[in-house]
Structure 1
Amino acid sequence: MKVRKHDVMDMLKFDPKILEFHFSDSDLELELDSNFDQQLIVHCYEYFNRKIVDLVALEETNQIHSKETSIQLVQKAIDKTIQLGENFKGKPSIIVHPGGYSLENLSTDNIQKMKNMVVDSVKQLEISGVNFLLENMPPYGWFYGGRWNSNIFLESEDLIKYCTETNLNVCFDLCHSQLYCNKVGLSLIDELNKIKDFAMHYHLSDAEGPEGEGLQFGEGDLPFDKVIPILNKLENRSFAIEVWKGHEQGGKGFRYFLDKLIENGLLVQ
């Protein structure tokens, strides 16, 4: 279940097996005064001091941290995850967006440069104390009130290449993938079947077109009737619901989405 510190108690009533904390840069100062029976996942911040964290940045700008600074900032989040993990069961995990953003369309050469930097950047991190999970990206991201292009970590083939080169797993966001598939004409089911052996954790919400992210169940075109049977066959995998404003009113939106998943056949153990 997705949480921030102030709504942890509301989310515990769902009896989740994991708690996924969505970090902002201020959470480097977060302290927890309770122990939890759940496993911890931290979703790393996308901004730090109002600039975007980007592990494959081609250069530093007034809106994007350099690759080198971004690596340092992700390491801080990893170290904090390890510290907070002492309050939870098992080995903690951290989910990180790889970056690769641009306001303008990039040349094929520059996109390839970004792709080539992913593994090198991750290898500069000390990740032995966490399950380190890069997350696949949607075709577009929204920063500073505007639409940016996501240029890397979009197709399952790129994720699989990364996983085989690093021997690491990924977080697979089904909504992100559906948005990308809608844009380029791929099949989400094909993408899921390719990546499922490498995905340790899943993000779930509905999606529409190339930009409609975080929608409630049934508001988009994600084929849950085909996705749910695949998810039911997976072992040792977790998921978190990422519905927009789903945490409000005591998690009302999360509850509705979860109920619809179960109603449509998802096995929740």
Structure 2
Amino acid sequence: LQDVVNITRNLNQYFPKTKDPVIVVNAGGWNRNGFTDEKLNAAKYQLISEALNELDLDGVTIAIQTMPPFPWHFGGQSYHNLFVGADEIVEFCKNNPKIKICLDISHSMMSCSYYGWDLLEFVEKVAPYNVHLHIVDAKGADGEGIEIGKGDVNFPALMSLLDSDNPNVPFIPEVWQGHKNGGEGFWSAFEFLETIK
């Protein structure tokens, strides 16, 4: 990660208006065999804090991505234990004030579906620590990256909340295979988002 930080700092000379460019990271916490004992999470969060404190992060912002309960990695589906719940994310950010989050709407919607949480309450809690958004829909607890507007996310309510709590936070529409066919998935996501009032 230190190499990525160094490269990002070096590239920043070409983007002089960008202050402390954001590096989105998945900080780990997944397991192939099932969810781990929640009592172990505090120690795992502490290890992440210690690892991040060893890095020279001057001139960049680390944004840890919010995660779903059942992420897909290229080796298959697994179980995620960290950066899933809003309260634990807030606690981590309070304990590590230099570290922020990337709010992945699909990931957080799936977590809310699985655990019975309310997405808007989730977003409201983590918004003060959010510096980047992945705007994407979700269906159920493991339907990731579906076309925006075809899943469980109430986009008009979400956009109203984000306009209020995160008005200047940059975002990308994160559509699975959205780059294909000349970016068709991304363009349709933008078109959908432009219709929200």
Taking structure 2 as the reference length, what is the TM-score of the superposition? 0.91
| C-alpha distance in structure 2 between counterparts of 1:171 and 1:199, whole Å | 6
| C-alpha distance in structure 2 between counterparts of 1:173 and 1:143, whole Å | 16
Structure with more of its chain in helix, by fraction: 2
Aligned to 1:94: 23
**How high is the sequence identity, in percent, across the aligned residues?**
29
Aligned to 1:172: 103
Check the 8 A contact 2:179/2:185 in 1, yes or no: yes
Deviates more, 1:178-187 or 1:224-233: 224-233
* Cα displacement (A) at 1:144: 4.0
Corresponding position: 1:121 with 2:51: yes
Corresponding position: 1:149 with 2:79: yes
| C-alpha distance in structure 2 between counterparts of 1:258 and 1:203, whole Å | 13
Mapping 1:33-182, distance limit 5 Å: 74-89=1-16, 90-91=18-19, 92-105=21-34, 106-168=36-98, 169-182=100-113
Q: Does the residue aligned with 1:171 lie in a helix, a strand or coil?
A: strand
Quick one: which amino acid aligns to residue 187 of structure 1? D
Change (3 A) 1:209 1:96: same
Corresponding position: 1:252 with 2:184: yes
| C-alpha distance in structure 1 between counterparts of 2:120 and 2:77, whole Å | 27
Change (3 A) 1:144 1:135: closer
Aligned to 2:136: 205
| C-alpha distance in structure 1 between counterparts of 2:162 and 2:172, whole Å | 13
Larger radius of gyration: 1
Structure with greater contact order relative to length (CA < 8 Å, sep ≥ 6): 2
Count of matched residue pairs: 192
Quick one: which amino acid aligns to residue 168 of structure 2? N
Instruction: Please give the per-residue CA displacement for 1:178-219, whole angstroms capped at 9, x wherever unaligned.
Output: 000011100001001111121111111010111111111122
Taking structure 1 as the reference length, what is the TM-score of the superposition? 0.68
Aligned to 1:214: 145
| C-alpha distance in structure 2 between counterparts of 1:143 and 1:245, whole Å | 15
Q: Does the residue aligned with 1:218 lie in a helix, a strand or coil?
A: coil
Aligned to 2:172: 240
Change (3 A) 1:245 1:200: same
| C-alpha distance in structure 1 between counterparts of 2:96 and 2:74, whole Å | 33
Quick one: which amino acid aligns to residue 236 of structure 1? N
| C-alpha distance in structure 2 between counterparts of 1:238 and 1:164, whole Å | 22
| C-alpha distance in structure 2 between counterparts of 1:257 and 1:144, whole Å | 24
Quick one: which amino acid aligns to residue 220 of structure 1? G
Q: Does the residue aligned with 1:196 lie in a helix, a strand or coil?
A: helix
